[in-house]
Copies of this chain bind each other. A is one copy, B any other.
Amino acid sequence: MRRLRMGMIGGGPGSFIGGVHRLAAEMDRRIELVAGAFSSDPARSRAAGESYRIDPARAYDSYQEMFAAERLRDDPIDFVAVVTPNHLHLPATAAALAASFPVMSDKPMTATLDEARELAALVQATGVTYRLTYTYTGYPLVREMRQLIASGALGAIRKVVVEYAQGWLAEPLERAGNKQAEWRADPAQSGLGGCIGDIGVHAFNLAEFVTGQRVTRICADLNSMVTGRRLDDDCNVLLRFANGAPGVLIASQISVGERNGLRLRVYGETGAVHWQQENPNTLTIDTIDGRTEVRHAASGLLGADALAVTRVPTGHPEGYLEAFANLYADFAALLAGETTAPLLPDAAEGLRAMGFISTAVTSNAAGGGWTDLAL
């Protein structure tokens, strides 16, 4: 069976996430990067193509050109990965869908909720496959938590605490030439949300993914703690889930000493689970009889969902790149018609997350207080 051919939009020199998509997509040898419109600057696009070691003829000046040229080949790309800054997600994805290329998009869906609604409508209208890389849903033990909860092992969910703590924006890096900080701190490129849209949305998505519960109301406190910053860099949000359970979502990019501190705790009537992204190969499971279990990645005790995305024996740590690759493994299987990839976030999930960002910004701007989640 041949490998699927991937084209990339974005991911040029200086991009971190482009290389991650490439590596993740190719890890299991079901997908191969063969083309790209890596930058709106043709020279930079070509340079990126070289660094990816692809055929120079397939490093295009624009995604429009890529779509036009690839359609004429015997071995055209099978899909595109969209890894641009947020404000380009909509136009690039819309063009791909119009050209009938399936899309694997980086998160968030778009820069604004209105754009997201427009895109969701396009996805539905075209019927072209569209999925998003909410990376952390790819970790085996995240899927284990989800399966455990779905199986009723914790009883009804009573409380959720989800945190995503980083410290790298504790200083105004966006004014010190840091490219990653620049676009994130610029409302024109990022949208209305700063930290809430960059990482808060991962926490939101993770909480819903794992619990299978929808958030219905939130009470948000967004702050910009670094002088002169135009977007929020610290977020604290009270949550209410559909079943009435309370929750807390904490996201921050000014928490000095935190690296990529995504942590989730879910407490149910009869059990609880704890997981941390920086130490992703163990999962703590507490039960109401006082027992604490540490469940190990790749252990034979894991459910089918976790084992399906496990590559190495227990004790051989997998990490971020493997989690990311699991999303592409799902996507490849989906395109191959082997599965419906029920765990892979789709437009509906993308839209919910945009609603969360929008509601958090609105609720905060109005002085706080409980607000229904806009969708």
Contact with B along A269-282 (1 / 0, CB 8 A): 11110000111110
A234 at the interface (CB under 8 A from B): yes
Contact pick for A23, options B3, B20, B311, B368, CB 8 Å: B311
Which of these, B255, B277, B311, contacts A321 with CB under 8 Å?
A: B311
Q: CB distance A246 to B267 under 8 Å? A: no
* A29 in contact with B26 given A166-B315, A238-B238, A319-B319 (CB within 8 Å): yes
Give a binary string over A253-287; 1 marks a CB under 8 Å from any B CB, 0 the rest: 01111111100010111111000011111001011
Write out the residue numbers on chain B whose beta carbons fall within 8 Å of the beta carbon of A269.
Answer: 170, 256
Closest chain-B Cβ to A322's Cβ sits at a distance in Å of 7
Count of A residues near B, CB < 8 Å? 89
Cα A26 to Cα B238 in complex, Å, equals 44
Report B-chain residues with C-beta under 8 Å of the C-beta of A225: 158-159, 245-246
Q: Which residues of B contact A252 (CB under 8 A)?
A: 159, 267
**Alpha-carbon distance A246/B19, docked complex (angstroms):** 36
Please name all residues of chain B whose beta carbon is closer than 8 Å to the beta carbon of A72 when the two chains form the complex. none
Decide yes or no whether A53 CB sits under 8 A from chain B. yes
Which A residues have a C-beta under 8 Å from some C-beta of B? 1-3, 16, 19-20, 22-23, 26-30, 50, 52-53, 154, 158-159, 161, 163, 166-167, 170-171, 219, 221, 223, 225, 234, 236, 238, 245-248, 250, 252, 254-261, 265, 267-272, 277-281, 284, 286-296, 299-301, 311-322, 367-370
